Structure 1
Amino acid sequence: MPFGCLTLGEKKDYNSPSEVTDKYDLGQIVKSEEFCEIFRAKDRNTLKMYTCKKFHKKDGRKVRKAAKNEIMILKMIKHHNILQLVDTFETKKEYFLFLELATGREVFDWILDQGYYSERDTSNVMRQVLEAVAYLHSLKIVHRNLKLENLVYFNRLKHSKIVISDFQLAKLENGLIRDPCGTPEYLAPEVVGRQRYGRPVDCWAIGVIMYILLSGNPPFYDDGDEDDSDSRDKNLFLKILSGDYEFDSPYWDDISDSAKNLVASLMEVDQDQRLTAQEAIAHEWISGNAASDKNIKDGVCAQIEKNFAKAKWKKAVRVTTLMKRLRASEQGDSAAAGLAPGASADPNTPGVTPAAPAGGGGLLAAAIKAGLSEKASDTQTATMSALSLPSAARQEEQQQSRCNGDIPQVLPPRKGD
């Protein structure tokens, strides 16, 4: 084709807002997540109910990229344990994703409502999660943010299936991935250590989920000052790097050796030695009769309420704050447009993040090496002082930027990156 026949900057075809509202009746906002709003929606013709996720383009490039990424990934997926994409619209101002509506409860809430809860119940949950993840991995898709909040029962029937949701951070494994991504408590050692990683990170997260469901406790925690979040996060990442967790008494006294073996195989620090999702499905605790029928509800529920009730409340507050900041970022971006690259800005201005200091890669390498090879307390103290990690609240707010190729704030960049 002659050059003169090329059409540059072709106009994009957008849906009109009326196309969305003519087909669906959008209800009130159910909740606000990090980068989108969740609605209940009813198909005006079939009267069937769906979940609608609305992403506002004005909230920034990262939000737009998250919406397009989730649409791309979900269009590739069809599995009975994954919440299915039904419809999409793109207007000039928004992205709309319509998905199946899961009316059941989160796994935590389901456990608390049971009169009897055993390893066998956990095994049934984990089997479904593993089957879904094995399917994703067969397509070379890495979820990258598997956690208990993303596992829900599809409906409230007694034998409802489990479904996995939230694919905003999922990624195709075209070569190994570098950018850190996910919820801090579920991060695999290779993500924390800024190594290249792939599908094994999902298997590590499944091991963390299984650990929590069997004991009610997180595998990695710090008993330090609750107000000193920086110190607690440093300790958390150090423990993850070295796989420093235990099957503590009395919480694990009634748990079978087979269950402990599977957890340990999924939470293997060396990603090359870690069990794959397909291998975990074949484990006797999942496919055989090794899971105990003993009632462990009282112990698990007591620890869940102790460890996670406050965390869910804190997350709700952080999400509300984050949405306000995202909405304010339009004004912040406009105000900062006249600044030269690297110019300073008021750190108290909404939507403005102070620049991180450069350097630190050499300290990181020494810190990780020391943390993995030494057990002495003075070595750990030196390691923690070398690491520069954000607080848990800032990590959650920075999560999306780390997943879009920006310089991650979890750990300093390594030399040569």
Structure 2
Amino acid sequence: MPFGCLTPGEKKDYNNPSEVTDKYDLGQIVKSEEFCEIFRAKDKNTLKMFTCKKFLKKDGRKVRKAAKNEILILKMVKHHNILQLVDVFETRKEYFLFLELATGREVFDWILDQGYYSERDTSNVVRQVLEAVAYLHSQRIVHRNLKLENLVYFNRLKHSKIVISDFHLAKLENGLIKDPCGTPEYLAPEVVGRQRYGRPVDCWAIGVIMYILLSGNPPFYDDMEDDDYDNHDKNLFRKILSGDYEFDSPYWDDISDSAKSLVAGLMEVEQDQRLTAQEAINHEWISGNAASNKNIRDGVCGQIEKNFAKAKWKKAVRVTTMMKRLRAPEQSDSLASSPVPGASTGPFTPSITPVPPADASEVTAASTEALVMLQVPDSQSAPGTIVPDSPADVTETRQELSKHPHKHRRIRMARQTCTHMHAHAHARANTPCEYAAGMMIRNLLNAPPSILQRYCSITS
């Protein structure tokens, strides 16, 4: 398996692009994600199909870092409930990752197609996820982005296994982690509260997944109007911080007490009291016969269809993107004057972790405000804030975008976004808006218009 320069200490030895095309037939793009493009690929010798993820180095340091990180993690893991890395190539311009191809459906789609669905079906899904996560945690790996969209059936056979995908946010736990990332509705309180965190965040996310699979509802939501995005975010994060969820009627009336106890154990606000993955596997609802066999399909499917139609809680954006524009108000002055020694200063990571107030209600308020304040681009800002692309990057982005005329509407919306951000910068806006436009276009081009509207308060 050619790994180019990916092994520490090895001399850089790039693959020739022809090595990729000599071995694999790459089909059309199946999906474009923030960091990569995804293809179906066929091995020319065996005719076996794979998934190919292509990362373009020219797209920036963050893309290169994401590719290297995913390769590092996937080379370490081998588990039947995790999509396996099969082949890797690094050319001078790209990374190519070839993984097992999962041809089954997402868990939600599978549920909607069932005539009969019970707690035992959910228990089977959750057990497989827990086993994979327990394995990852035994290797000191934190996935950090567990969500229903990353759980798929490996094939379309009746008893297909569940596999976990998407490891570009996974991280080796060498000490506690502080950079916030993940998907907002699955975030653990310690991430929302900007505390240091570790493997328990994955167990919290599994609790959220289990809650949704048993009720069809997300555990944390509010009834704000669709255009009241700021209050929606504040309420969401406030509820997560306080663990403010309920087993509300009628959705939980037919769910066993054993299932509820496992959800509560996984969604314990205090991370040191939260169930571990192995402890959850040993729970009677997973390893015993406590899971009910009563049909709950109609109630669950009705709520799934309702919530997916509203799409209030399912957002196609990671909180890393959001966090780049959100910061704690108490950091504004301290960052400019005295960065904390040894703290990370990368664009993904806040350079300090705020000291929370002593009172619990103040913790909630301060942490919520930390997550909803707009981060403004500023080339003169202290470490930890956002620095836009260089003029050369903007030119390169323009050239790339000129090849995709169908994306002009998103380009326009991204420019509106930049204008909005520039207007809020006031005297701090020393960076030409055009540079910010280049950065925002690159980061937001693949985001749905609803995301731009939600986080930047613009209308199309």
Q: 1:33 to 1:242 in 2, by over 3 A?
A: same
Q: Is the 8 A contact 1:238 1:371 kept in 2?
A: no
- What amino acid sits opposite 1:18 in the alignment? S
Separation in structure 2 between the aligned mates of residue 270 and residue 154 of structure 1, nearest angstrom: 34
What is the match of residue 365 of structure 1? Answer: 356
Correspondence 1:121 to 2:121: yes
- What amino acid sits opposite 2:287 in the alignment? S
Shift of 1:384: 8.4
Separation in structure 2 between the aligned mates of residue 173 and residue 384 of structure 1, nearest angstrom: 24
Shift of 1:389: 1.5
What is the match of residue 201 of structure 1? Answer: 201
What is the match of residue 246 of structure 1? Answer: 246
What runs of 5+ residues in structure 2 fail to find an aligned partner? Answer: 1-8, 322-335, 337-346, 376-382, 387-460
What is the match of residue 94 of structure 1? Answer: 94
Separation in structure 2 between the aligned mates of residue 313 and residue 188 of structure 1, nearest angstrom: 15
Q: Is the 8 A contact 1:107 1:152 kept in 2?
A: yes
- What amino acid sits opposite 1:90 in the alignment? E
- What amino acid sits opposite 2:361 in the alignment? A
Give the TM-score taking structure 1 as reference length.
Answer: 0.77
Correspondence 1:49 to 2:49: yes
Shift of 1:315: 4.8
Q: Is the 8 A contact 2:54 2:97 kept in 1?
A: yes
1:261-313 CA-partner distances (Å, limit 9, x unpaired): 00000000000000000000000000000000011011101111111244399
Shift of 1:369: 3.1
How many correspondences in the alignment? 344
Displaced runs of 4 or more, over 6 A: 358-362
**Larger RCO, structure (CA 8 Å, separation 6 or more):** 1
Q: 1:384 to 1:288 in 2, by over 3 A?
A: closer
Q: CA RMSD in A?
A: 2.9
Q: Is the 8 A contact 2:88 2:97 kept in 1?
A: yes
Q: Is the 8 A contact 2:35 2:63 kept in 1?
A: yes
Separation in structure 2 between the aligned mates of residue 228 and residue 261 of structure 1, nearest angstrom: 34
Q: Is the 8 A contact 2:126 2:210 kept in 1?
A: yes
Shift of 1:361: 7.6
Q: 1:368 to 1:172 in 2, by over 3 A?
A: farther
What is the match of residue 296 of structure 1? Answer: 296
- What amino acid sits opposite 2:356 in the alignment? A
Shift of 1:12: 2.3
Shift of 1:367: 9.7
What runs of 5+ residues in structure 1 fail to find an aligned partner? Answer: 1-8, 323-341, 343-354, 373-379, 395-404, 409-417
Q: Is the 8 A contact 2:356 2:366 kept in 1?
A: no
Give the TM-score taking structure 2 as reference length.
Answer: 0.70
SS of residue paired to 1:272: helix
> Following superposition of structure 1 onto structure 2, how do residues 299-378 of structure 1 map, counting pairs within 5 Å?
299-311=299-311, 315=315, 365-366=356-357, 369-370=360-361
What is the match of residue 159 of structure 2? Answer: 159
- What amino acid sits opposite 1:266 in the alignment? L
Q: Is the 8 A contact 1:241 1:371 kept in 2?
A: no
Q: 1:211 to 1:63 in 2, by over 3 A?
A: same
Q: Is the 8 A contact 1:50 1:99 kept in 2?
A: yes
Of all paired residues, the percent bearing the same amino acid is: 82
> Following superposition of structure 1 onto structure 2, how do residues 262-277 of structure 1 map, counting pairs within 5 Å?
262-277=262-277
Q: 1:153 to 1:309 in 2, by over 3 A?
A: farther
Shift of 1:226: 1.4
Separation in structure 2 between the aligned mates of residue 406 and residue 168 of structure 1, nearest angstrom: 21
> Following superposition of structure 1 onto structure 2, how do residues 31-110 of structure 1 map, counting pairs within 5 Å?
31-110=31-110
